[in-house]
Amino acid sequence: MSRAFTPKVITANDLLAGDVIYLTADDQWSRHHAQAELIEDEAHSQLRLLDAQRNKFAVGAYLADAKRGAQGPEPVHFREAFRTRGPSNYAHGKQTERNHV
Amino acid sequence: MYNYTDFDETFVRARTAQFAAQVDRRISGALTEDEFRPLRLMNGVYLQLHAYMLRVAIPYGTINPHQMRQLAHIADTYDKGYGHFTTRQNIQFNWPKLTDIPKILSDLADVGMHAIQTSGNTIRNVTADHFAGAAADEIEDPRPVAELLRQWSTDHPEFQFLPRKFKIAITGSSTDRAVTRAHDIGLRMVRNDAGEPGFEVIVGGGLGRTPIVGTIVRDFLPKADLLPYVEAVLSVYNMLGRRDNKYKARIKITLHETGKEELSRLIEERFDELRLQFGGNDQALLAEITAAFSTPTLRQADTGAYHAFYKADPVFRSWADTNLSAHKNADYRIVTISLKKHGETPGDATSEQMRLIADLAERYGHSEIRISHEQNVILPHVHLSDLPTLHAALRGSGLETANVGLISDIIACPGMDYCALATARSIPVAQEIANRFDELKLEHDIGPLKIKISGCINACGHHHVGHIGILGLDRAGVENYQITLGGDGTETAVIGERAGPGFAYDEIVPAIERIVAAYLEHRVDASETFLQAYRRLGLAPFKAALYPDEGKRNAA
């Protein structure tokens, strides 16, 4: 029996800046995981992934496991958690942007 | 050092212009990502976890002050004010924007540098002994041959689509500081019975998912035969190497599947054909190149002040004891500037540090700089009398750490803090180990000990040849670290032995501490290094220290 589908978000990297981006429910690309569309249906996830892969400014779009959180979707795997923040050795990447807002 | 000819200059400029046009076509949508990816990789551009990364070659680890200042300029202008020196004598910029990369390549071309063939299934940056041209134990400077290989391999039409990437390392000394036995081709200079210099040729070494110590296919290859011989190896590999399976495509697998005897026969057969075709042109070129690598005019001066200072200043003495190596001239030393300050990222240098290194190289080092695969910076020619002033200039810059060859002089790949392939982080593990042993004030007592950390099985951090190797993996969604012991990357190369089950992120530093405690307990005396003790004792006492509960269970 195939494994039950777990919720996903669609993520990629921005073509120009390389920054991590997430597909939102209204077809925008956000830099914030919490604004991503949480996809809970497998068929829908495949269609949304096809949509995402057609966008020339989103590089390497894929489905990443996510879960529902108070502020919006949250990452499940540590790799995806790192992608929401940036590296651990310097305060670079998204973690610094967050301090500015 | 070698300066670009008009031919090199024209080629690099043309490639930069080509890439700028490719970037424009990608942004306009004329190229898809699938079409663009191989083009950007040919120019050293990766897309990593958080951003693009540009990998710039520092051929055979040699760089001049002018180039170092340009790297600092690039770090300040297009990146976040620093660069990361890698285990393959490259520098990586972690945050460039795609639209800036053509400008960076153009700035690099201004100083005779490039990012060509730092990725892709080609012959990569040829690496060399970082003490080349200066070491007391050297037969000959290997860099003219390395430069010959660079020119031959760059854009070589036959070798642009190899089954897989191909790495060549070379050393001019019988002491192997270039890990030649873990490369696709390793070249180690030796003398024959007549006293003539030539190369021991090692083929099929490599780390990664299938770590193998290379096989010697020729005990002695005359220097003049080197290029046709290397081309013969590549040619045979290009024919036989497996293109059907990425994980079986390296020459180490070709060697394993074909057998040493048959592979050697094919190489020799091809070599006989090629040697005639070369017709001595390579030797004429090599002679021209060699002139560019002459030793600078070394100065003669009184060394008394150095010896007096060494006696008087304990901080200087500690630095001199760890960071200096023997030079072929008795009044000179090779200086290793540590990029491993406790708690900092191994191999990272800020633009300010790069500029200081450039200034000091000009003032005290005959304008020569090297980058080591161990992620440190070398000033290969410093007169004894200049060492106290040099050390004083380093103090306060973060470059004065006296730890070369010690437990905190750790090799670490970027790991999951940057790399898209990584399965776990490496950098914070290195930082925490260095900080811990600094706190304990034990590292000088522990003595020579090489820790090498990789954040995935591709082994950029050379963990298999670390005396203590650490491999970060993803075990069911959690970072987990496997330990190997007894690895050695020198002329006595050995792949480390796996110690047992892995450790969680917060258990890895205490685990390393237990290994070191076991060494201190079991060593004969302070003169027996960790590696010697491991070779004498084997895995057992270290395993007992690593997994104390297992011993209790067995005893119960």
CA B165 to chain centroid: 16
Contact call for B427 and A79, based on CB within 8 A = no
How many other C-beta atoms are found inside a 10 Å radius of the C-beta of residue B488? Answer: 22
Among B487, B512, B494, B488, which Cα is nearest to B502's? Answer: B512
Q: In sequence order, what are the residues at sequence separation of 6 or more whose Cβ sits closer than 8 angstroms to the Cβ of residue A34?
A: A69, A71, A72, A73, A74
Please answer whether residues B74 and B363 qualify as being in contact, where contact means their C-beta atoms are separated by less than 8 angstroms: no
How many other C-beta atoms are found inside a 10 Å radius of the C-beta of residue B161? Answer: 12
Going by their DSSP bridges, the two strands B185-191 and B168-171 should be labelled as parallel
Residues B161 and B257 both lie in one domain: yes
Q: How close, in Å, is residue B77 to chain A by CA atoms?
A: 15
For residue B441, is it left (φ>0), alpha (ψ between -120 and 50) or beta? left
At A99, list the tokens.
Answer: 């301090």
Contact call for B98 and A18, based on CB within 8 A = yes
Question: How far is residue B335's CA from residue B131's CA, in Å, rounded to a whole number?
Answer: 9
Residues B267 and B339 both lie in one domain: no
- Give pLDDT tens digits for B134-171: 999 999 999 999 999 999 999 999 999 999 999 999 99
Residue of chain A whose alpha carbon sits nearest to that of B345: A89
Mean per-residue pLDDT, A40-44: 97
Q: In sequence order, what are the residues at sequence separation of 6 or more whose Cβ sits closer than 8 angstroms to the Cβ of residue B524?
A: B533, B536
Count of A-B CB contacts under 8 Å? 73
Collapse the DSSP code of B486 into the 3-class scheme (helix H, G, I; strand E, B; otherwise coil) and give the result.
coil
Contact call for A60 and B479, based on CB within 8 A = no
Question: How far is residue B323's CA from residue B390's CA, in Å, rounded to a whole number?
Answer: 12
% residues pLDDT > 90 (chain A) = 89
Alpha helix (H) ranges present in B297-372? 304-312, 314-323, 351-364
Q: How close, in Å, is residue A100 to chain B by CA atoms?
A: 17
At B452, list the tokens.
Answer: 């090498």
Question: How far is residue B202's CA from residue B215's CA, in Å, rounded to a whole number?
Answer: 5
Is residue B490 in a domain? yes
Domain ranges of chain A: 8-100
Question: How far is residue B512's CA from residue B492's CA, in Å, rounded to a whole number?
Answer: 24
Residues B237 and B275 both lie in one domain: yes
pLDDT of residue A1: 54
B362 lies in which domain range?
Answer: 306-394
Collapse the DSSP code of A3 into the 3-class scheme (helix H, G, I; strand E, B; otherwise coil) and give the result.
coil
Is residue B129 in a domain? no
Q: How close, in Å, is residue B50 to chain A by CA atoms?
A: 5
Q: How close, in Å, is residue A92 to chain B by CA atoms?
A: 8
A60, A79, A94 member nearest B416 (Cβ): A79
Residues B547 and B497 both lie in one domain: yes
Contact call for B52 and A18, based on CB within 8 A = yes
Residue of chain B whose alpha carbon sits nearest to that of A15: B98
Residue of chain A whose alpha carbon sits nearest to that of B476: A77
Question: How far is residue B523's CA from residue A60's CA, in Å, rounded to a whole number?
Answer: 52
Rounded to the nearest integer, the mean pLDDT of chain B is 96
ipTM of the complex as predicted? 0.95
Collapse the DSSP code of A19 into the 3-class scheme (helix H, G, I; strand E, B; otherwise coil) and give the result.
coil
Is residue B342 in a domain? yes
Q: How close, in Å, is residue A66 to chain B by CA atoms?
A: 13
Contact call for A56 and B97, based on CB within 8 A = no
Q: Write out the E strands in B232-343.
A: 324-326, 332-337
Mean per-residue pLDDT, B5-29: 95
Tell me the CATH number at B469: 3.30.413.10
Residues B327 and B278 both lie in one domain: no
- Give pLDDT tens digits for B223-256: 999 999 999 999 999 999 999 999 999 999 999 9
- Chain B residues touching residue A92 (CB < 8 angstroms): 50, 80, 94-95
Q: For chain A, which residues lie within 8 Å of any Cβ of chain B, measuring from their own Cβ? A: 13, 15-20, 56, 59-60, 76-79, 82-83, 86-90, 92-94
Residues B285 and B178 both lie in one domain: yes
Contact call for B416 and A82, based on CB within 8 A = yes
- Chain B residues touching residue A76 (CB < 8 angstroms): 477
Contact call for B49 and A17, based on CB within 8 A = no
Model confidence band, residue B552 (pLDDT cutoffs 50, 70, 90): low
Residues B183 and B262 both lie in one domain: yes
pLDDT of residue B14: 96
Distance in angstroms between the alpha carbons of the first and the last residue of chain A: 46
Q: How close, in Å, is residue A43 to chain B by CA atoms?
A: 25
Q: Write out the E strands in B192-274.
A: 197-203, 215-222
- Chain B residues touching residue A18 (CB < 8 angstroms): 47-48, 50-52, 95-98
Per-residue burial over B26-61, b if 16 or more Cβ lie within 10 Å, else e, is bbeeebebeebbebbbbbbbbbbbbbbbbbbbbbbb
Q: Write out the E strands in B108-196.
A: 127-128, 168-171, 185-191
Mean per-residue pLDDT, B102-118: 97
- Chosen for mutation from A16, A89, A90 (greatest number of chain B CBs closer than 10 Å) is A89
- Give pLDDT tens digits for B404-416: 999 999 999 999 9
Three-class SS string for B403-423?
CCCCCCCCEECCHHHCCCCCC
For chain B, give the number of residues. Answer: 556
Is residue B433 in a domain? yes
Residues B254 and B338 both lie in one domain: no
Contact call for A89 and B416, based on CB within 8 A = no
B47, B95, B431 member nearest A60 (Cβ): B47
- Chosen for mutation from B25, B48, B49 (greatest number of chain A CBs closer than 10 Å) is B49
Among B321, B463, B469, B344, which Cα is nearest to B404's? Answer: B321
User: Is the pLDDT at A97 greater than 90, yes or no?
Assistant: no
H helix or E strand, kind and range, residue B158: none
- Give pLDDT tens digits for B322-366: 999 999 999 999 999 999 999 999 999 999 999 999 999 999 999
Please answer whether residues B467 and B450 qualify as being in contact, where contact means their C-beta atoms are separated by less than 8 angstroms: yes
User: Is the pLDDT at B555 greater than 80, yes or no?
Assistant: no
CA A100 to chain centroid: 21
Is residue B473 in a domain? yes
Residues B310 and B284 both lie in one domain: no
H helix or E strand, kind and range, residue A30: strand A29-30
Mean per-residue pLDDT, B161-189: 96
CA B331 to chain centroid: 28
User: Is the pLDDT at B6 greater than 60, yes or no?
Assistant: yes
Residue of chain B whose alpha carbon sits nearest to that of A80: B49
- Chain A residues touching residue B95 (CB < 8 angstroms): 18, 92
Give the residues across from B128 on adjacent strands: B170
Q: How close, in Å, is residue A81 to chain B by CA atoms?
A: 11
- Give pLDDT tens digits for B32-62: 999 999 999 999 999 999 999 999 999 999 9
Tell me the CATH number at B36: 3.30.70
Please answer whether residues B436 and B430 qualify as being in contact, where contact means their C-beta atoms are separated by less than 8 angstroms: no
B26, B50, B479 member nearest A19 (Cβ): B50
Please answer whether residues B179 and B493 qualify as being in contact, where contact means their C-beta atoms are separated by less than 8 angstroms: yes
Is residue B66 in a domain? yes
User: Is the pLDDT at A96 greater than 50, yes or no?
Assistant: yes
Residues B357 and B447 both lie in one domain: no
- Give pLDDT tens digits for B415-455: 999 999 999 999 999 999 999 999 999 999 999 999 999 99
Q: Which residue did the predictor score with more confidence, B5 or B19?
A: B19
Residue with tokens 């380093």: B394
pLDDT of residue B398: 98
Q: What sign for the dihedral angle of Cα B388, B389, B395, B400?
A: negative
pLDDT of residue A101: 39
Residue with tokens 């040919």: B42
Q: What sign for the dihedral angle of Cα B354, B463, B88, B144?
A: positive
- Chain A residues touching residue B339 (CB < 8 angstroms): none
Domain count, chain B: 4
Contact call for A59 and B33, based on CB within 8 A = yes
Q: How close, in Å, is residue B57 to chain A by CA atoms?
A: 22
- What is the DSSP annotation of B381-410? EEEGGGHHHHHHHHTTTT-----TTSTT--
